[in-house]
Structure 1
Amino acid sequence: MRRVLVGIGAAALVGALLAGCGSNPEGDTRSTDSIVLGVQSEPDTLNPVLGYAVEGASKIYDGLVAYDDKLEPVPALAEKLPEVSPDGQTVTFTLRPGVTFHDGTPLTADDVVFTYRAVLDEKTDSTLRPAFASIAEVTAPDQRTVVFRLKYPYAPFVKRTTLGIVPAKALAGHDVNTAPFNQRPIGTGPYKVESWTAGERLVLVANESYWGGAPAIKRVTMAFVADDNVRAARLRSGELDGAVLPPKIADGLGQLPGHRRWDNPSADYRIVSLPLNHPVTGDVAIRRAVDLAVDRDAMLRTLLNGQGKPAFGLISPDAGRWFEPAQARPGTADVAAATRALDEAGWLPGGDGIRAKGGQRAAFTLMYPASDSLRKDLATAAASDVRRIGIDVELVGLDWTAINPRLGKDAVLFGSGSPYDPDFDLYDSLHSSLAGKGYANPGRYANPAVDDLLDRARATADTAERVRLYHEVQRKVATDVPNVGLVFLHHTFVVRDAWTGQLPRTEPHDHGFNGIWWNLEDWTTR
Structure 2
Amino acid sequence: MTPASVRYLKALCVGGVAILVAIACGNPTPQSSNLASNQTLTFPILADFGTLDPAVSDAETDQEIQQNMFDGLVKFDNNLNVVPDIAASMPTVSSDGKTYTFKLRTDVTFSNGDKVTSKDVLYSWNRSAAMQGAYATNLSAIEGYDKVSKNTASGAALEALLEKNDPSVTLTGLTAPDASTVMVKLANPAGWFLPAIALSGSTGEIVDVNAVKQDFDNWWTNPATAIGTGPFKMTSRVPKQSVDFAAVSNWWGSPKPTLTKVHLDVSVTDPSTAITKYEQGGYDVYGYGGYSNMPVADIKRIQATSNESSQLLLQPKVRSYWVSFNMVHDAKRTAAGPFLLANGQSAHDLRMAFALAVDKAKLVTVVCQDIVCTQATGGLIVKGLTGYLGDGQDPLAKFDAAQAKTLLKSADPDGTKTKGLTYTYDPENSLNKPTAEFLQSQWHDNLGVDVAIQPVSHSQFIKGRLKGQYVLSRDGWQADYNHPQDWYDNLWGHVVGCPDSGCSTGYDTKAYDDLLDKADTESGDQANADYKALAQMLINDVVYIPLYYSKGAFLFKPYVKGAGTNNFSDFHWNEIQILSH
TM-score by length of 1: 0.83
Q: How does 1:241-256 map to 2 (within 5 A)?
A: 241=284, 242-243=286-287, 244-246=292-294, 248=296, 249-254=298-303, 256=306
The answer (yes or no) to whether the contact 1:45–1:183 under 8 Å persists in 2 is no
1:25 maps to: none
What letter corresponds to residue 451 of structure 1 in structure 2?
Answer: D
Q: How does 1:382-421 map to 2 (within 5 A)?
A: 382-388=439-445, 389-407=447-465, 408-410=468-470, 411-418=472-479, 420-421=482-483
Question: 1:346-385 CA distances to partner (integer Å, 9 max, x unpaired)?
Answer: 254xxxxxx423xx625123122x3321222222222222
Residues 1:431 and 2:493 aligned together? yes
State the secondary structure of the residue aligned to 2:384.
helix
Give the deviation of 1:215 after TM superposition: 1.4
Task: Mark the CA change 1:403 to 1:34 in structure 2 (over 3 Å): closer, same or farther.
Answer: same
The answer (yes or no) to whether the contact 2:68–2:231 under 8 Å persists in 1 is yes
Task: Mark the CA change 1:433 to 1:498 in structure 2 (over 3 Å): closer, same or farther.
Answer: same
The answer (yes or no) to whether the contact 1:436–1:444 under 8 Å persists in 2 is no
Q: Which of 132, 135, 150 is the equivalent residue of 2:139?
A: 132
**Distance in 2, Cα, partners of 1:320 & 1:214:** 32
Q: Answer with 30-39 or 60-69: which moved more.
A: 30-39
Unpaired stretches in structure 2, ≥5 consecutive residues: 1-12, 24-34, 144-172, 199-203, 330-335, 341-346
Q: Which of 194, 207, 218 is the equivalent residue of 1:179?
A: 218
1:346 maps to: 412
**Distance in 1, Cα, partners of 2:142 & 2:538:** 28
The answer (yes or no) to whether the contact 1:428–1:434 under 8 Å persists in 2 is yes
**Distance in 2, Cα, partners of 1:238 & 1:498:** 12
What letter corresponds to residue 391 of structure 1 in structure 2?
Answer: V
**Distance in 1, Cα, partners of 2:348 & 2:368:** 29
Give the deviation of 1:321 after TM superposition: 5.8
- Which one has more relative contact order, counting CA pairs under 8 Å at least 6 apart? 2
Q: How does 1:345-364 map to 2 (within 5 A)?
A: 345-348=411-414, 355-357=415-417, 361-364=419-422
Higher strand share: 1
Residues 1:272 and 2:323 aligned together? yes
**Distance in 1, Cα, partners of 2:237 & 2:326:** 37
Task: Mark the CA change 1:311 to 1:82 in structure 2 (over 3 Å): closer, same or farther.
Answer: same
Give the deviation of 1:465 after TM superposition: 0.8
What letter corresponds to residue 266 of structure 1 in structure 2?
Answer: K
The answer (yes or no) to whether the contact 1:322–1:470 under 8 Å persists in 2 is no
Residues 1:496 and 2:539 aligned together? no
Question: 1:428-452 CA distances to partner (integer Å, 9 max, x unpaired)?
Answer: 0011343735998222221221112
2:259 maps to: 217
**Distance in 1, Cα, partners of 2:37 & 2:300:** 26
Q: Which of 312, 334, 344 is the equivalent residue of 1:261?
A: 312
Residues 1:422 and 2:471 aligned together? no
Give the deviation of 1:115 after TM superposition: 0.9
1:299 maps to: 363
Question: 1:191-216 CA distances to partner (integer Å, 9 max, x unpaired)?
Answer: 11233444444432222232224311
Question: 1:240-296 CA distances to partner (integer Å, 9 max, x unpaired)?
Answer: 322224372323224643661222222111122332233134343332222212222
Q: Which of 518, 521, 544 is the equivalent residue of 1:459?
A: 521
What letter corresponds to residue 381 of structure 2 in structure 1?
Answer: I
The answer (yes or no) to whether the contact 1:429–1:441 under 8 Å persists in 2 is yes
Give the deviation of 1:68 after TM superposition: 2.3
Q: Which of 542, 545, 552 is the equivalent residue of 1:481?
A: 542
**Distance in 2, Cα, partners of 1:12 & 1:306:** 19
What letter corresponds to residue 480 of structure 1 in structure 2?
Answer: D
What letter corresponds to residue 132 of structure 1 in structure 2?
Answer: L
Unpaired stretches in structure 1, ≥5 consecutive residues: 16-28, 349-354, 508-513
Q: Answer with 429-438 or 398-407: which moved more.
A: 429-438
2:433 maps to: 376
Give the deviation of 1:415 after TM superposition: 3.0
The answer (yes or no) to whether the contact 1:227–1:372 under 8 Å persists in 2 is no
What letter corresponds to residue 179 of structure 1 in structure 2?
Answer: N
The answer (yes or no) to whether the contact 1:267–1:489 under 8 Å persists in 2 is yes
The answer (yes or no) to whether the contact 2:324–2:473 under 8 Å persists in 1 is yes
Aligned-residue RMSD, C-alpha: 3.3
What letter corresponds to residue 43 of structure 2 in structure 1?
Answer: L
State the secondary structure of the residue aligned to 2:83.
strand
**Distance in 1, Cα, partners of 2:315 & 2:501:** 25
**Distance in 1, Cα, partners of 2:56 & 2:21:** 36
The answer (yes or no) to whether the contact 1:253–1:494 under 8 Å persists in 2 is no
Give the deviation of 1:486 after TM superposition: 0.9
**Distance in 1, Cα, partners of 2:100 & 2:538:** 33
1:33 maps to: 39
**Distance in 2, Cα, partners of 1:34 & 1:393:** 51
Task: Mark the CA change 1:117 to 1:394 in structure 2 (over 3 Å): closer, same or farther.
Answer: same
1:170 maps to: 211
1:510 maps to: none
Give the deviation of 1:319 after TM superposition: 2.4
Give the deviation of 1:143 after TM superposition: 1.2
Task: Mark the CA change 1:377 to 1:72 in structure 2 (over 3 Å): closer, same or farther.
Answer: farther
Q: How does 1:10-89 map to 2 (within 5 A)?
A: 14=22, 33-40=39-46, 42-52=48-58, 58-89=67-98
State the secondary structure of the residue aligned to 2:431.
helix
1:194 maps to: 235
| % identical aligned pairs | 22
Q: Answer with 141-150 or 294-303: which moved more.
A: 294-303
What letter corresponds to residue 421 of structure 1 in structure 2?
Answer: H
1:444 maps to: 506
Residues 1:158 and 2:194 aligned together? yes
The answer (yes or no) to whether the contact 2:386–2:484 under 8 Å persists in 1 is no
Question: 1:360-415 CA distances to partner (integer Å, 9 max, x unpaired)?
Answer: 625123122x3321222222222222222133333333332222331121244233
The answer (yes or no) to whether the contact 1:324–1:475 under 8 Å persists in 2 is no
